[in-house]
Amino acid sequence: MPLIHEEHFRAVENLLYEWARAVDENRVEAICELMAPDGRYTVQSRFNADRGLPHALIDARSAAQLRDRIRSMRLANIYEPQHYRHTVSGVQIVGGEGAQLQVRSSFTVTRTMELDGTMKLFAAGQCEDVVEVGGAEPLFRSRRFKLDSRAVETLLVIPL
């Protein structure tokens, strides 16, 4: 069983929660500050990830690339107003070397359409993260959202 990593656990957990809250509060830009400038953010299906297939729904290879994508969401994409609600659970530190910790958590995202209030279980899966704890505040070195489903019904406009 993974060690408890009492020393860093709360800071790591808080980092994951901060990301989720930024997206859910429609402050999506703020997630770029939570990853290392040369970090990586990926949203991929479990099916592809387990087979080592490279295709991903989102694959940002730096914080700047993620920032660009969010800007295009704000400026260019036309989509129905909607809110995400993350449920993050089961946070575990499953390994680590030096100041880089391997972190696992489960997530579900409920999406609510603003106009008619329809709620829908939109996405579910596991996060595979590497968190750097060497600096003043912990940062994501890499985040991978692995979706349990291969089918995401609509365009994934807002990052998870």
- Interacting residues toward its own copies by CB under 8 A: 1-2, 4, 6, 9-11, 14-15, 17-18, 20-21, 24-25, 34, 46-47, 83, 85-92, 104, 106, 108, 110, 112, 114, 116-121, 124-126, 137, 148-151
124 strand-pairing partners: 108
Q: How far is the CB of 136 from its own copies (least distance, A)?
A: 10
Cα distances (Å, whole numbers) of residue 83 to 33, 45, 60, 69, 129: 21, 22, 22, 18, 24
Measured from the CB of residue 72, what is the shortest distance to its own copies in angstroms? 24
- Shortest approach of its own copies to residue 58 CB, angstroms? 18
**Do the bridges between strand 139-147 and strand 100-113 make them parallel or antiparallel, or are there none, so unpaired?**
unpaired
| Contact assessment for residue 114 and residue 84, using Cβ atoms and an 8 Å cutoff | no
| Shorter beta-carbon distance to its own copies: residue 75 or 151 | 151
One-letter identity of residue 77: N
Residue 4 or 76 having the CB closest to its own copies: 4
Whichever of 76 and 151 has its CB closer to its own copies, that residue is 151
Smaller CB separation from its own copies, 25 or 61 = 25
CA distances (Å), 71 to each of 6, 104, 130, 143, in order? Answer: 37, 28, 25, 20
**Size (the chain), residues:** 160
We find the least distance from the C-beta atom of residue 76 to its own copies, in angstroms, to be 24
Distance CA 32, CA 41 (A): 10
**Which residue, 9 or 73, has its beta carbon nearer to its own copies?**
9
